Amino acid sequence: MRGTALARWAAGAGGLALVATGCGGGTGGSVGTAVLSSSWGDPQNPLEPANTNEVQGGKVLDMIFRGLKRYNPRTAQAENWVARSVETTDSQNFTVRLKDWRFSNGEKVTARSFVDAWNYGASLRNNQKNAYFFGYIDGYDKVHPGSGTQSADTLSGLRVVDDHTFTVRLNQKFSGFPDTLGYAAFAPLPRAFFTHHAAWLDKPVGDGPYTIESYTKGSQMTLRKWDAYPGPDKARNGGVTLRVYTDNNTAYTDLMSGNLDLVDDIPAAQLKNVRSDLGNRYINTPAGIIQTIAFPHYDPGWNKPGSQKVRTGLSMAIDRKQITRTIFRGTRTPATDWTSPVLGLAGGYKPGLCGSACDYRPAEARKLIKEGGGIPGGQVRITYNADTGSHRQWVDAVCNSINNALGNGRACVGNPVGTYADYRNQIGQHKMTGPFRSGWQMDYPLIQDFLQPLYYTDASSNDGKWSNKDFDRLIDRANAETDRPRAMADFQKAEEVVRDDMAAIPLWYQNGSGGYSERLSDVALDPFSVPVYYAIKVS
């Protein structure tokens, strides 16, 4: 068996050598031609940019697409990529100018590539799950009404000026809009996407540093370096083979036995030996993910005068430091605000904004909960889905911590739900009677993305139905503000409103973790916890 594996590997290497000499381009030598293998999960949706809302599909899109902007993998700053410039004078009308760029099938990336793609993504009939990203663009309510059929096919706010220019009119002022354009949903699409849709889905074609060589749905995708890629972030390896693993434990075992080069999800059970197994080939870097405990503000028991004291008390009863150290072994960091460290101080992250409310203070916790009228129903039941992640362990730990702090062994229990779909179902019906687990992975590195979708009145992910006029007003003002520091100040003021009412308890910032084989170097995870594939060197 070993023999066949070796033979196959040798054949693969031979094929690659042929490719390398055939192209005869650029880097030369062995660097840049070797292929690495990486763990993957089966994407939940078809690989359309506006339909991919999870990290596994996002991984592929990040390799084969480049949008107007790209988030710097290190600093998370949005930088112009296919865009030459995105200009506005009033935060509502934007003019986008493009660089000369091509799709890997030779087609030119034009203003129309973007406008058609965005119209497709926004249109109700295409069932695109990221459609709401186009919700700021004028005319969205016509192409994507909340109910009934659409009365228009294209967004009235988009206008093609010439091949390299188009304009965007928003339905409200939103100064952060250019910074959202690095999200995959805003990627341009070639004509083949519209004319030969099924064939395109079998083998997507984009304008990024890699092209897809073959795709066996549900098991493997092989990507190759696109030699003629026009951008500055050319791949430094010959390609990437993504292999679907059902269980991240198997992927880890494969890494240990030299069968796999890169895993971007270390199983919780292996965290205690990962350092001795991998040494400095273990990566653990902050990602734009925050875990919180949300509350059903629609439930009268949790929404009466003094309830905020109970919520703050519960927050103070959680020993975040101990839980992150013992259960997560440093792969999560105690949260001290409602955003993420990856934003950076300039981007709105403000450590310590939560203040003493996020410290472990059992005595004060008991006092506050008593003042607030006690826990509704006498017991906190934290609902979570038990099928993925290691939610059970930490929910139990949080409950233990609360029980210890309150000196009541029955103050808090976990309430597991079998599947994620069922869990989302129960949340969506707004029938929760107690707090529930809530995780948020940012779509784009902006403080706005950590606040507005989660806490604005009736926002898309405001699962607890929290509503506060001051918060809404501050967010509106911040979005309209063209001066960046002033906008940040307003966002942070809004975050203070969240804190004072303890709309949700911040628990910890989640890190991305990964490990790689000795063949690789220059491996890093970006703020979305996706490996920065193009930069990886294979020896």
- For 190, phi and psi rounded to 5 degrees? -75, 165
265 binds other proteins (CB under 8 A): no
Stretch that binds other proteins, among 96-104, 182-190, 426-434, 530-538 (CB under 8 A): 426-434
- The answer to the question of residue 253 lying near other proteins (CB under 8 A) is yes
Burial category of 347 from C-beta neighbours within 10 Å (exposed 0-12, middle 13-18, buried 19 and up): buried
What is the footprint of other proteins within residues 39-98 (CB under 8 A)? Answer: 42-46, 53-54
Select the span of 109-117, 174-182, 415-423, 522-530 touching other proteins (CB under 8 A). Answer: 415-423
Residue 257 binds to other proteins (criterion: CB under 8 A): yes
Binding mask 371-410 for other proteins (x = CB under 8 A): ----------------xx----------------------
Q: Are 462 and 454 in contact (CB under 8 A)?
A: yes
Residue from the set 28, 145, 279, 377 that interacts with other proteins by CB under 8 A: 145
For 187-342, where are the E strands, in sequence order? 210-216, 220-225, 239-244, 262-263, 282-294, 332-334
Residue 172 or 460 having the CB closest to other proteins: 460
**152 forms part of the interface with other proteins (CB under 8 A):** no
Closer residue to other proteins (CB): 127 or 172 = 127
Could you say whether residue 153 binds other proteins (CB under 8 A)? no
**Burial (CB count <10 Å: 0-12, 13-18, 19+), residue 410:** exposed
- Determine which residue in the list 196, 217, 321, 392 makes contact with other proteins, applying CB under 8 A: 217
238, 298 Cβ separation under 8 angstroms: no
Instruction: Tell me the per-residue interface mask from 447 to 486 with other proteins, x by CB under 8 A, - otherwise.
Output: ------x------xx-x-----------------------
Residues 267-296 that bind other proteins (CB under 8 A): none
Q: How far apart are CA 259 and CA 36, in angstroms?
A: 10
Q: Nearer Cβ to other proteins, position 82 or 446?
A: 446
The region of 21-29, 185-193, 312-320, 413-421 touching other proteins under the rule CB under 8 A is 413-421
What tokens were used for 45? 């949706």
* Binding of residue 219 to other proteins (CB under 8 A): yes
Question: What is the DSSP-derived secondary structure letter of residue 346?
Answer: T
425 lies in the binding site for other proteins (CB under 8 A):
yes
CB of 148 to other proteins, least distance (A): 8
What is the spatial order of strands in the sheet that 93-98 belongs to?
A: 83-88, 93-98, 165-169, 158-162
Instruction: Identify the burial level of 386 via C-beta atoms within 10 angstroms of its C-beta, where 0-12 means exposed, 13-18 middle and 19 or more buried.
Output: middle
Asked if residues 74 and 285 have their Cβ atoms less than 8 Å apart, the reply is no
CB-based contact 92:174 (threshold 8 Å): yes
Q: In the window 295-354, what residues touch other proteins (CB under 8 A)?
A: none
Residue type, 321: K
Among 304, 424, 431, 486, binds other proteins (CB under 8 A): 424
The reply on whether position 416 binds other proteins by CB under 8 A is no
d(CA 452, CA 339): 11
Handedness of CA 396, 400, 403, 408 (dihedral sign): positive
Yes or no: say if 87 and 94 are a contact pair by the CB < 8 Å rule. yes
Q: How far apart are CA 450 and CA 228, in angstroms?
A: 37
Among 28, 421, 518, 521, binds other proteins (CB under 8 A): 421
- We find the least distance from the C-beta atom of residue 123 to other proteins, in angstroms, to be 10
- Residue 147 binds other proteins, judged by CB under 8 A: yes
Query: What 3-state DSSP class applies to 500?
Result: helix
Whether 302 contacts 476, CB under 8 Å = no
Window contacting other proteins (CB under 8 A); options: 23-31, 324-332, 348-356, 412-420: 412-420
Binding to other proteins (CB under 8 A): which residues in 109-138? 124-125, 127-129, 131-132
Q: Name residues whose C-beta falls within 8 Å of residue 416's C-beta, 6 or more positions apart in sequence.
A: 383, 384, 385, 386, 392
Nearer to other proteins by Cβ, of 3 and 232: the residue is 3
- By CB under 8 A, name the one of 65, 245, 295, 456 that touches other proteins: 245
- Residue 213: Cβ-neighbour burial (10 angstroms; 0-12, 13-18, 19+): middle
Q: Which of 19, 152, 160, 256 binds other proteins (CB under 8 A)?
A: 256
* Residues contributing to the site for other proteins (CB under 8 A): 1-2, 4-5, 42-46, 53-54, 124-125, 127-129, 131-132, 144-147, 201, 216-220, 243-247, 250-251, 253-254, 256-257, 259, 387-388, 418-428, 438-441, 453, 460-461, 463
